[in-house]
Amino acid sequence: MRKATPQFIHGKKRPGTSSERMENINPANGTVINEISVASGEDVNDAVASAGRAFNAWSSMKGVERGRILLKSAEILRERNRELAEIEVEDTGKPIFEASSVDIESGAEALEFFGGIAASLEGSHMQLGNNFAYVKREPLGVCAGIGAWNYPMQIACWKAAPALACGNTMIFKPAELTPRNAVNLAEIFIEAGLPEGVFNVVQGGPDVGRRLVEHRNIQKISLTGEVGTGQKVMAGAANTLKHLSLELGGKNPMIIFDDCDLDDAVQGAMMGNFYTQGEICSNGTRVYVHTDIMNGFLEKLEKETAKLKVGDPMDPSTRIGALISSSQKEKVLDYIEIGKSQGARLLFGGDEPVFGDGSPLNNGFFVNPAAFYTDSDDDRIAREEIFGPVMTVLPFSEEEDVITRANDTPFGLSAGVFTNNLKRAYRVVDRLQAGVCWINNYNITPVEVPFGGYKMSGIGRENGRAAVEYYTQLKTVYVEMEGVGKPFE
Ligand code: NAD
Question: For 382, which DSSP code?
Answer: G
Q: Report the separation in Å between the CA atom of 447 and the middle of ligand 1, taken as the mean of its atom positions.
A: 21
Q: What's the rounded Cα separation, in Å, for the pair 204 and 16?
A: 10
Q: Which atom of ligand 1 is nearest to the CA of 233?
A: 19
pLDDT digits (tens, 9 = 90+) for 264-283: 999 999 999 999 999 999 99
Q: Among 153, 240, 275, 281, which is best to mutate for testing ligand 1, by the most ligand atoms less than 8 A from CB?
A: 281
Q: Report the separation in Å between the CA atom of 201 and the middle of ligand 1, taken as the mean of its atom positions.
A: 17
- In the chain, how long is the greatest CA-to-CA distance? 95
| Whether residue 2 has pLDDT greater than 70 | no
Q: Report the separation in Å between the CA atom of 487 and the middle of ligand 1, taken as the mean of its atom positions.
A: 54
pLDDT digits (tens, 9 = 90+) for 173-215: 999 999 999 999 999 999 999 999 999 999 999 999 999 999 9
Q: Which of 13-17, 319-323, 468-472 has the lowest mean pLDDT?
A: 13-17
| Whether residue 1 has pLDDT greater than 70 | no
pLDDT digits (tens, 9 = 90+) for 90-107: 999 999 999 999 999 999
Nearest C-alpha neighbor of 372 from the set 439, 441, 418, 305: 305
Q: What's the rounded Cα separation, in Å, for the pair 431 and 276?
A: 29
Q: For 358-475, where are the alpha helices, taking DSSP H only?
A: 399-407, 422-431, 466-469
Nearest C-alpha neighbor of 339 from the set 267, 289, 388: 388
Active-site residue flag, 247 = yes
pLDDT, averaged across the chain: 98
358 contacts 345 by C-beta, under 8 angstroms: no
Q: Among 24, 146, 240, 461, which is best to mutate for testing ligand 1, by the most ligand atoms less than 8 A from CB?
A: 146
Q: Which of 88, 94, 143, 159 is catalytic?
A: 159
463 lines ligand 1 (CB under 6 A): no
Q: For 225-325, where are the alpha helices, taking DSSP H only?
A: 227-236, 262-274, 294-305
Q: Report the separation in Å between the CA atom of 422 and the middle of ligand 1, taken as the mean of its atom positions.
A: 36
pLDDT digits (tens, 9 = 90+) for 207-235: 999 999 999 999 999 999 999 999 999 99
Q: What's the rounded Cα separation, in Å, for the pair 294 and 276?
A: 26
Q: What's the rounded Cα separation, in Å, for the pair 165 and 119?
A: 8
Q: How far is CA 112 from the centre of its chain?
A: 18
Res 3: pLDDT: 78
Nearest C-alpha neighbor of 477 from the set 133, 224, 207: 133
Residue having the nearest C-alpha atom to atom 5 of ligand 1:
225
Active-site residue flag, 437 = no
Q: Report the separation in Å between the CA atom of 150 and the middle of ligand 1, taken as the mean of its atom positions.
A: 9
209 lines ligand 1 (CB under 6 A): yes
137 lines ligand 1 (CB under 6 A): no
Query: What's the predicted TM-score (pTM) here?
Result: 0.98
Q: Report the separation in Å between the CA atom of 231 and the middle of ligand 1, taken as the mean of its atom positions.
A: 11
DSSP reduced 3-state for 455: helix
Q: What is the mean pLDDT of residues 295-317?
A: 98
Q: How far is CA 80 from CA 91, 98, 158, 320, in A?
A: 17, 16, 18, 24
Q: Which of 112, 247, 279, 385 is catalytic?
A: 247
Bridge partners of residue 224, in order along the sequence: 247
The helix or strand, by DSSP H or E, that contains position 349, with its residue range, turns out to be none
DSSP reduced 3-state for 146: strand
